[in-house]
Amino acid sequence: MNTQRRKSRPLNLGGLSLGGEAPIRIQSMTTTPTREVEATAHQISRLVLAGCEIVRMAVRDATDAEAIAAVKARSHCPLVADIHFDPHLALLSLKAGADGIRINPGNLAHRDALPHIVALAEEKRAVIRVGVNLGSLRERRDDASVAADMDRCLDETLNSALELEGLGATQLKLSIKASSPEWTLTANRLLAERCDYPLHVGVTESGTLLSGAVRSTAALTPLLREGIGDTVRISLAADPVNEVRAARALLEALSLRQTGVRVIACPTCGRCANSDFFELAARIEQKLEMIRQPLTVAVMGCEVNGPGEASDADIGLAFSGSRAVLFVKGQKKNTVSVNDAEAVLLEGIHSLLEKPV
């Protein structure tokens, strides 16, 4: 699929390019209290290992804001402070070294602080994300129509961006979200038509692991196919590492990025004699998730779904009774016992990548 990306302004977030011609960046958010430095840094490390490129952290008070300096010293990706209600926390976060801040105009008090925020963000070369959620729309009316609420969200997002730009902000990114995939899809299409700011796309409060991934995909697939979206988050009520895995899988499925190993596996049927098949496929995927070199690995449950149906894979296994066939580029290379299959596959991957798995 050849997607023509929407032209957006290029930005630099803590040394990471986004917008413009940069790849679509994968984002997630920590679930630990930011003040708990070691726990937060550990979670960020797990996210980065899974392929996350931007991590956002909740800043509830001054203690959280001041902890950013210590978290940053232990982390290896751009960090964004998530600010609600109190704009002075944005100033503290920027002083502590946040590479970017997210502010929501719908719940921001004391807007007289905005000139100071912009001035400090420009001094630090930090990105400001204007993030508007339908649920936090200022003065939302219960009797308003869906179209009216969407218009007001769009106006609030764009007017806030113009206000910040008027104050001197040069590094701005926008997002507009709701828990409805259809609403989010339509709103982002309209937002993309009305500006050239980089856009962060996602469905907010999308749900638990399975339902949230499906609902997010329903909105993000058409947006990304249309070239809309410079950073992406699949928000899940689950371990945030799963957000990163889901986002990677979506971008790879749309041929927009391959950020590492792609494991393809059949759903199995009565022909599969390996009772450990599902666990094996999941275990192999987990062992390979830190590899960033593009590679497609197939794990097939029987000889029907073997080399023939997985011929595009770089390497893979096809089980048949008590044996497993190792194949490379669709060609049979070896037959081993089921018990040895995983080790043989990993050794084969090691040889292809010329480094240990």
pLDDT averaged over the chain?
92
Q: Are residue 111 and residue 239 in the same domain, yes or no? A: yes
- When pLDDT is cut at 50, 70 and 90, the band that residue 272 belongs to is confident
Residue 297 contacts residue 284 (beta carbons within 8 Å): yes
Does 220 reside within a domain? yes
Does 193 reside within a domain? yes
CA terminus-to-terminus distance, the chain: 31
**Choice between 41 and 269, residue whose per-residue pLDDT is larger:** 41
Does 6 reside within a domain? no
Q: How many structural domains does the chain have?
A: 2
CATH number for the domain harbouring residue 323? 3.30.413.10
Q: pLDDT of 183-213, one tens digit each?
A: 999 999 999 999 999 999 999 987 899 999 9
Q: Are residue 51 and residue 117 in the same domain, yes or no? A: yes
Q: Are residue 169 and residue 295 in the same domain, yes or no? A: no
pLDDT, residue 291, reads 87
pLDDT, residue 142, reads 64
Q: Are residue 232 and residue 284 in the same domain, yes or no? A: no
% pLDDT > 70, the chain: 96
d(CA 288, CA 3): 28
- When pLDDT is cut at 50, 70 and 90, the band that residue 329 belongs to is confident
Q: In Å, how far from its chain's centre is CA 290?
A: 16
Q: Are residue 239 and residue 324 in the same domain, yes or no? A: no
Q: pLDDT of 56-106, one tens digit each?
A: 999 999 999 999 999 999 999 999 999 999 999 999 999 999 999 999 987
pLDDT, residue 139, reads 62
Residue 285 is part of which domain span?
A: 261-353
Q: What is the pTM of this model?
A: 0.90
List the one residue out of 186, 200, 113, 179 whose CA is nearest residue 154.
186
Q: Are residue 73 and residue 134 in the same domain, yes or no? A: yes
In the listed set 209, 234, 253, which residue is the last one of a domain according to the structure?
253
Q: pLDDT of 214-268, one tens digit each?
A: 999 999 999 999 999 999 999 999 999 999 999 999 999 999 998 788 899 988 8
Residue 3, pLDDT above cutoff 80:
no
- When pLDDT is cut at 50, 70 and 90, the band that residue 357 belongs to is low
Q: Are residue 103 and residue 84 in the same domain, yes or no? A: yes
- When pLDDT is cut at 50, 70 and 90, the band that residue 340 belongs to is very high
* CA-to-CA dists, residue 97 to 65, 83, 91, angstroms: 9, 14, 10
In the listed set 253, 288, 304, which residue is the last one of a domain according to the structure?
253
Q: Are residue 181 and residue 293 in the same domain, yes or no? A: no
Does 120 reside within a domain? yes
Does 347 reside within a domain? yes
Q: Are residue 346 and residue 271 in the same domain, yes or no? A: yes
Does 5 reside within a domain? no
In the listed set 253, 275, 291, which residue is the last one of a domain according to the structure?
253
Q: pLDDT of 108-117, one tens digit each?
A: 888 889 999 9
pLDDT, residue 259, reads 74
- C-beta neighbour count of 151 within 10 angstroms: 14
Does 3 reside within a domain? no
Does 228 reside within a domain? yes
pLDDT, residue 211, reads 95
CATH number for the domain harbouring residue 247? 3.20.20.20
Which of the residue ranges 34-48, 148-162, 198-212 has the most confident prediction, judged by mean pLDDT?
A: 34-48
Residue 107 contacts residue 140 (beta carbons within 8 Å): no
Handedness of CA 321, 324, 328, 333 (dihedral sign): negative
Q: Are residue 164 and residue 309 in the same domain, yes or no? A: no
Q: Are residue 164 and residue 97 in the same domain, yes or no? A: yes
d(CA 41, CA 71): 6
Residue 1, pLDDT above cutoff 60:
no
Q: Are residue 298 and residue 238 in the same domain, yes or no? A: no
d(CA 72, CA 273): 49
